[in-house]
Every structure is written in C-alpha cells, then in structure tokens.
Structure 1
C-alpha cells in the first residue's frame, strides 16, 4: 500500500485530491500538508501536517516520519495571481518543486507535479496543440511550468526519480472556489447563474480554452501515477483535456437550464492577454496511448452536475 504526501493540500485541486486518494488507498495512508492552519479542520479523516513547502528540513522530516513513497506537489501561485507578483510566484512555485525533487531523490519517492496549458505561449500552435512543440510562455506561471517539466525530466534521467506530470487545462469544480487563474470564469459563471442570475465575463466571446471537470482531473492524477512506467515515453508532461469551449457556449449551456440567466462582458486585459497566448485545444493522444487517458465528462453533463450541486448549496444557505 502506498504512503502518499499531498503538499499544498488546501488548494483547488489538493483539497479534493486528498479525499479522493483516501478512498483509494485508505485514510491513514494519505498525509495532507499545507501552510494554512485552517486546513487542519478540513482534513480530519487522516493525518495532517502544517508545512511551508519552502522549509526543506520540515518537508523531509514529514516524508521520513510517515515513510512516504509518493509526493503530490500541488503548491502553486496561479497565472493571474502570479502576474501581480512574479518574484513571489517564482520563489513559491520553483522552491516547492525543487524541495519535492530533492527530497524524492533522497528518500526514493515518486513525484507528481501538475503542469498546465499555461506552459504554452503565443508561438505554440493554437489548434490541436501537439504534445511536443515550441513552448515560450509569456507569464511567470507558464515559465515556472516549463521549467518544472524540464526539471522533472532531468531528475528522472540523471537520478532515476520517478517523476510524472500532466498539463492541466482549466479545472472546474463545485467544491472549491477559484484561486486566481485565467480560466476561473468557467467556475464563477455557475455561481453567478445560481446566486444572481447574472454574470460579468472577464474574457471576450470567442476565447476558446481547454477545460476539465474536477472528477476527471482527479482520475488523471491517479491513473498516471498508477501507469506502467515502461509505457511512459513523455512523463513530464502529458497534454490532457476533456472539452474546449468559449464563454458564449458555456453561457448557452447554462441558459438552456436557467432561462432567465443573463451575461455581459467586461474584459480584463491581463486575463485576455494570458488566454490569447494559450491553446484553443490540445492534442492529448499521447496520454490516451501511453496510459489510457479517457475523460468521462463533457460540457453538458458537467453543467447538469454543477448547477445541481451549487443549487443545493444555495438553497441550504451555504453560499455567501
């Protein structure tokens, strides 16, 4: 049985990844770690450790204490947030990754670190973006992700560390709120539909972006880490996607279910510039061929589920 450490467990993906892993591997075999003290109240079903991922000694002590063999490094400042303080984004994103890799090398751990569509740049092909192509991102977030992919491959080739990664698209969740990403509108719009019957979209019509529903994202993490290593040709990092849409399409899907829902545009130039530098949709055939990636959710089924869950929270008075 694996002993797993999720660093950055309080983030958008980490907060749902921990219980997902606990269901598979057992509560006591999944350790949640985060710098936020409030997370101790969230992760009550299994071990929790307060950790600043930049503190290499404490990080290593936790790995040793729990005999960890797999590290999920989910620490990151996201794209739009990172542009506000690029120096801090580099310090956190790269510091947490280097500590994860070095500790994995010392204690013989496997490492999962998510990359992103943000790793691509304006010179990358926009449509059917290949697995292997030019990657010259124009955001500090993207620069961190490309560097992280290269470091992951380096630690695998030089030290034999079992590093694996996926390039996540925008992640849509009905559990955790957005955390400063360019694709956050695709989460916020559902809350706007339920709470105000109106949404102000920060991206212009026609801005296509790859997206994925959280259940598929969690499956991708586990499926890749469980994959036969002899079949992995790319490792860091696989394109994965489930759907691609632009604002008017997600609006139409919601309006079909909530007829009085309205939307207007108030374009955020920073988010627009970031989105314009990213792919419209990625080619994820390598992930499908090398480890059987096959998403289960699309825009229609996701919209049904999002509105159902968020609507129930709203009726129960659980939304602010």
Structure 2
C-alpha cells in the first residue's frame, strides 16, 4: 500500500515541482497538495488540493486524519529577502509551522517528516570554501536564524522522541517552471527570463558574488532520495549539506552568451548583497554522498541549455 503524502507549501518554487514528481511516482491520489492559497491550474488539476493555514495545528491534524496521511513535506516558509522586510512574520511562520509538524509526529499522527533547511544557516564567520557539514554557524538573517534553530529542534525531536525527521540545506535553487520566491539567489532565475525577454539583465548581486547553486531536478531528486533512504542511513538529523555547482553572475552571463551572443548584464547591488556576502561560496556535501549516495546530474553548462530551451518554448507560445 502506498503511503499518503501531504505537501504543505505546495504552491512555492520547490513545492510545485515536488508535488508533480511525487504524484508521478506514487499516483495523484496519494499526494495531497496544500497551501494558504490556490496554486497554478496544473497543480490544482493534477490531484487533491487543500487550502491550509500551516500555523494552525488543528487544521493540519484534520487533513492528516481525513486523508490518512503518514508523510509530511513541510515546504512552507518565508525566504531570506522577504523575511528581512517582515522579520516577526518570518519567525512566526517558519517556527510555528515546524513545531506543529514535529509535535504531530511526536504524538504519533505522522510517521515521517521532511523539513528544508538552507545555506542561510551559515554566516560571515563560517568557512567560505568547501563549508563543512559541521562548522561555525552565526546566521545574520531572520530566515537563517529560523533555519538554524529548526535544525536544532529537528535533531532534538529525533533524539528525545524518536521522530523520523529528515532535512537538507538547500543551496540556491534554479527552475524554469516556478517564479522566483523572494530569495537572495533568485537573480540566477531572473537572468534567464530577462535574457530571453529583453536581451539584458541588471543583477542585484555584484559580478563576483559566488554562491552554491543547484538545478531544480537535482533538488527534487535529492529530497525524495533522502526521504526514501532506510532510516539507518540517515545519520545526520539536523540537516545535510547539499551541493552541485558554484558560479558568479559573470559566469552565468558568459554561459548565456554562448546561446544568446548579444546578451548584456549590468550590476546594481541592493540589500541582498549583504545577505549573499554572509553565505558560503562552495559546499562540502561528502556526508550526503556517503550516507545515502547523493549525486548531482546538472552543471552550469547543462542547466543553462535546459533552462533556455524550456523558457524559450514558454515565451514563444
């Protein structure tokens, strides 16, 4: 019997594609999508959908019981750049939703939980190159503070109460399907859209801002692979480092120029530059590769080709 999965925050950048992949793998009725608002027509028509306020534990429990849910992917969060504008709302949303799910798991209502962490847990004092799995963390954003705190609570609930919770520290995620969601790495999504629409782009990060990035198909595959791994292989219950590539705005622009030679990039760093400066430039994800055999498939060249091909089809309609 397939387990029934609930995705909270299914309308977000990762949630949208995670829902589609899990429905493809498990059958549409086995994956309940939910969010505070309705999503795209494609998401809404591809399987069951529930309007859900994830800060209400009672509302979550009602859906879990009605659909006989056993696994929850908690993807709802306020991201880094938006969180800096609304720090109290970001803290409340990010922490309340996590406690609701951890407590329901502790109470035996859920068997397995996925909760995403982020490279935002790191700060200016963290080693910039090949950031280790265990290292100094002094995050400087509300988003990062909430994710670092969440990691500690996930590990605590696993150690104290036996909650089967699993997590990944996502780097910047790039996708052609979903719109950017208020993150500091979103320039690397916007740049492809603007290259095709306008032939030029103004980056809100400076030209030398190297950040760890990942193409969405790799992020989705890693998430599902971690959730499907035998419990004994999941040795870190805070969150796993995950890496695929590192590049700067200059390097991504040069790759785009191979396909669109007339493309031009300019730079106007804003408040997100300070956030980017506090984050690592490259990540050591040896633990994920050794514990549950993580491997990435896309590099900057293959991702750029795929992004421009798919967005090109989108804009030519």
Same fold by TM-score, threshold 0.5 exceeded?
yes
Of 149, 153, 156, 2:155 maps to: 153
Q: Structure 2 CA distance, aligned partners of 1:99 and 1:108?
A: 11
Gap regions ≥5 residues in structure 1: none
Of 185, 190, 193, 1:191 maps to: 193
1:126 match: 128
2:78 match: 77
Gap regions ≥5 residues in structure 2: none
Q: Structure 2 CA distance, aligned partners of 1:142 and 1:39?
A: 28
Report Cα offsets for 1:29-68 as digits up to 9, x if no partner: 1000111034577322211111000111010011111111
1:204 match: 206
- For the residue of structure 2 that corresponds to 1:129, the secondary structure is coil
Residues 135 and 227 of structure 1: is their aligned pair in 2 closer, same or farther, counting only changes over 3 Å?
A: same
Report Cα offsets for 1:275-310 as digits up to 9, x if no partner: 000000110000000001000000000000000011
Q: Would you say how many aligned residue pairs link Structure 1 and Structure 2?
A: 315
- CA positional deviation for 1:232: 1.9
- CA positional deviation for 1:114: 0.5
Q: Structure 2 CA distance, aligned partners of 1:5 and 1:283?
A: 31
Residues 298 and 224 of structure 1: is their aligned pair in 2 closer, same or farther, counting only changes over 3 Å?
A: same
The within-5 A match list for 1:299-318 is 299-316=300-317
1:250 match: 252
Q: Structure 1 CA distance, aligned partners of 2:153 and 2:282?
A: 25
Q: Structure 2 CA distance, aligned partners of 1:179 and 1:298?
A: 22
2:203–2:265 CA contact under 8 A, matched in 1: yes
Q: Structure 1 CA distance, aligned partners of 2:40 and 2:196?
A: 27
1:40–1:48 CA contact under 8 A, matched in 2: no
Mean CA deviation greater in 227-236 or 217-226: 227-236
Q: Please say if 1:64 is aligned against 2:65.
A: yes
2:268 match: 266
Q: Structure 2 CA distance, aligned partners of 1:33 and 1:187?
A: 24
2:246–2:281 CA contact under 8 A, matched in 1: yes
Q: Structure 2 CA distance, aligned partners of 1:104 and 1:196?
A: 48
Q: Structure 2 CA distance, aligned partners of 1:148 and 1:169?
A: 17
TM-score, structure 1 as length reference: 0.97
Moved over 4 A (4+): 38-41
The within-5 A match list for 1:218-229 is 218-229=220-231
Q: Structure 1 CA distance, aligned partners of 2:207 and 2:198?
A: 21
Residues 162 and 83 of structure 1: is their aligned pair in 2 closer, same or farther, counting only changes over 3 Å?
A: same
RMSD: 1.0
